[in-house]
């Protein structure tokens, strides 16, 4: 081989390499976005509480949660790519209109509860920066609404991807909190678990906040809207894995920030904003501000995705026009539902003396009922040969996914009973 040949070869392989990366970038988005929305106001509150109450001792649980997240989301992504249809579409076609309508009512209710929580997150995080909620919440609602009504799918996705970058604030906040890396490493390698009801409750809460029903719908719909070809599926899978990994890192840093500071000082907290406020005297005002800013970003981000996802899911199942690329007059139900969720959700936060706790509580209960149903439907659908052809679950993968789903169903039922105080 002559020198110039070698150079040509090298150039070619480099080009090929770039091609793969470009392909991945074209396909990436849905997985990373879906996972990151997981770290919403409710998620941040749960991770902060886990850190503040139990220090580093529950950190290890994030690893199995990540594995479960990857398994579940991979199935959603695969169904989206192979069938080109959304999850509610598939449920409607396979299980009929009755189940679909009742399921959609439940999904709308639980998502509505979550939307309220996101606007509460916007209000409380900006109150730390001394912005009244009567300014922050309406502005946030209009901003979020305009984003989708005036945007196209590609522009919206880009903004969402940039929003993902801001999660880095939690990593910086974690470093500022100067955690004890040795202890963290040790607690990660040697998972310990005492069977106390408080710990068990926290663990179930962590699972519940990380794997939510709406994600399955959103991920699959986003993949369908992106028109990803079956041969690009492996890039989509990578997208899901990276997303789940990043979300776990961020969650881990939230836990360890609170573990390094609030846990040591013995401070109990209830929300993400509590955590941000309590951090100021312990880890410095920058750490506190970063934490609050992260909460704002996460709440805004989830407040734009959740109503969008809900509108997608409902319209798909009912056979109404949907899609960010449609105009208002072309898809009135889609935009109507989307707008209603945002403005009603934001409006409730502004009502004086509104008790947020019962709203959250009901939405969590419905969440716990809906998740098992959806996970089981997903497994039935993905094992349908007519639908998935050669892309249906293999035997080993099927065992793993059934075990994961059964564990998750058991946990969410336990969560449900604990919520209902049975």
Of the candidate residues 23, 24, 60, 93, the single one contacting other proteins (CB under 8 A): 93
What is the Cα–Cα distance from 173 to 257, expressed in whole angstroms? 7
Closest CB 414 distance from other proteins, rounded Å: 32
In angstroms, the CA 165 to CA 100 distance is 36
Residue 7 CA: distances (Å) to CA of 11, 13, 19, 21? 6, 10, 18, 21
Position 25 contacts other proteins (CB under 8 A): no
Name the DSSP letter for residue 60. G
Q: Minimum distance from CB of 92 to other proteins (Å)?
A: 5
Element of type H or E holding 274: helix 272-283
CA distance from start to end of the chain? 76
Q: Which of 33, 115, 42, 106 is nearest to 76 (CA)?
A: 33
Question: Would you count residue 227 as binding other proteins (CB under 8 A)?
Answer: yes
x-marked contacts with other proteins along 127-146 as a string, rule CB under 8 A: --------------------
CB of 203 to other proteins, least distance (A): 39
Total residues contacting other proteins by CB under 8 A comes to 16
Contacts of 278 (CB under 8 A, 6+ apart): 52, 261, 262, 265, 267, 269
Q: By CB under 8 A, name the one of 44, 45, 306, 387 that touches other proteins.
A: 387
Q: Where in 156-175 is the site for other proteins (CB under 8 A)?
A: none
Nearest approach, Cβ of 405 to other proteins (angstroms)?
A: 25
318 lies in the binding site for other proteins (CB under 8 A):
yes
Q: Which is nearer to other proteins, 22 or 420 (CB)?
A: 22
Residue 85 interacts with other proteins (CB under 8 A): yes or no = yes
Indicate the residue among 99 and 362 with the shorter CB distance to other proteins: 99
- Residue 52 or 77 having the CB closest to other proteins: 77
Distance in Å, CB of 111 to other proteins, minimum: 21
Sign of the torsion angle spanned by Cα atoms 57, 62, 64, 68:
positive
Cα separation of 156 and 154, whole Å? 5
Tokens representing 291 are 């934490």
For residues 123 and 133, the answer to whether their CB atoms sit within 8 Å is yes
| Residue 125 vs residues 36, 184, 297, 298: alpha-carbon distances, Å | 18, 28, 9, 10
Residues 98-127 that bind other proteins (CB under 8 A): 98, 101
CB of residue 84 to other proteins, shortest distance in Å = 3
Nearest distance from C-beta of residue 310 to other proteins, angstroms: 18
Q: How many CA atoms lie within 13 A of 335 on its CB side?
A: 16
The per-residue b/e assignment along 99-133, b for 16 or more CB within 10 angstroms, e otherwise, is ebeebbebbbbbbbbbbbbbbbbbbbbbebeebeb
CB of 324 vs other proteins, minimal distance in Å: 14
Per CB under 8 A, 230 contacts other proteins: yes
Q: Which is nearer to other proteins, 318 or 406 (CB)?
A: 318
101 vs 200, beta carbon nearer other proteins: 101
Reading the block at residue 198, the tokens are 């408080």
Question: Considering the complex, what minimum distance in angstroms separates the CB of residue 100 from other proteins?
Answer: 8
Segment near other proteins (CB under 8 A), from 5-13, 90-98, 171-179, 348-356?
90-98
> What is the binding site for other proteins (CB under 8 A)?
83-85, 92-93, 96-98, 101, 227, 229-230, 318-319, 386-387
């Amino acid at each position: 081989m002559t020198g110039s040949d070698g150079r040509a070869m090298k150039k070619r392989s480099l080009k090929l390499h770039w091609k793969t990366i470009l392909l991945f970038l074209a396909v990436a988005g849905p997985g990373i976005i879906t996972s990151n929305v997981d770290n919403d106001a409710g998620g941040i509150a749960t991770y902060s509480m886990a850190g503040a109450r139990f220090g580093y001792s529950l950190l290890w649980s994030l690893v199995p949660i990540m594995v479960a997240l990857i398994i579940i989301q991979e199935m959603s992504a695969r169904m989206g790519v192979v069938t080109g249809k959304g999850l509610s579409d598939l449920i409607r076609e396979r299980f009929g209109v009755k189940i679909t309508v009742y399921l959609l009512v439940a999904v709308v209710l639980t998502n509505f509860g979550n939307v309220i929580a996101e606007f509460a997150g916007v209000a409380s995080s900006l109150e730390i920066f001394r912005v009244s909620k009567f300014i922050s919440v309406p502005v946030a609602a209009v901003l979020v609404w305009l984003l989708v009504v005036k945007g196209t799918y590609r522009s919206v996705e880009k903004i969402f991807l940039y929003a993902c970058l801001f999660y880095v604030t939690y990593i910086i906040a974690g470093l500022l909190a100067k955690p004890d890396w040795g202890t963290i490493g040790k607690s990660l390698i040697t998972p310990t678990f005492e069977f106390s009801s408080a710990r068990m409750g926290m663990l179930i809460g962590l699972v519940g906040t990380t794997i939510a029903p709406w994600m399955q719908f959103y991920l699959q719909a986003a993949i369908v809207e992106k028109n990803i070809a079956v041969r690009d599926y492996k890039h989509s899978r990578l997208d899901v894995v990276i997303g789940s990994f990043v979300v776990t890192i961020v969650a881990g840093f939230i836990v360890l920030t609170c573990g390094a500071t609030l846990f040591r000082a013995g401070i109990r907290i209830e929300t993400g904003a509590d955590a941000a406020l309590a951090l100021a005297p312990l880890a410095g005002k920058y750490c506190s501000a970063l934490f609050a800013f992260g909460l704002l970003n996460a709440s805004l981000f989830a407040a734009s995705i959740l109503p969008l996802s809900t509108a997608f899911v409902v319209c798909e199942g009912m056979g109404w026009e949907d899609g960010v690329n449609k105009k208002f007059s072309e898809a009135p139900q889609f935009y109507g539902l989307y707008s209603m969720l945002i403005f009603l959700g934001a409006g409730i936060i502004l009502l004086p003396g509104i008790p947020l706790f019962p709203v959250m509580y009901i939405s969590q209960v419905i969440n716990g009922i809906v998740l098992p149903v959806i996970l089981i439907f997903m497994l039935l659908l993905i094992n349908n040969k007519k639908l998935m052809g050669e892309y249906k679950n293999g035997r080993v993968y099927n065992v793993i996914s059934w075990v994961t789903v059964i564990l998750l169903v058991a946990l969410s039922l336990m969560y449900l009973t604990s919520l209902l105080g049975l």
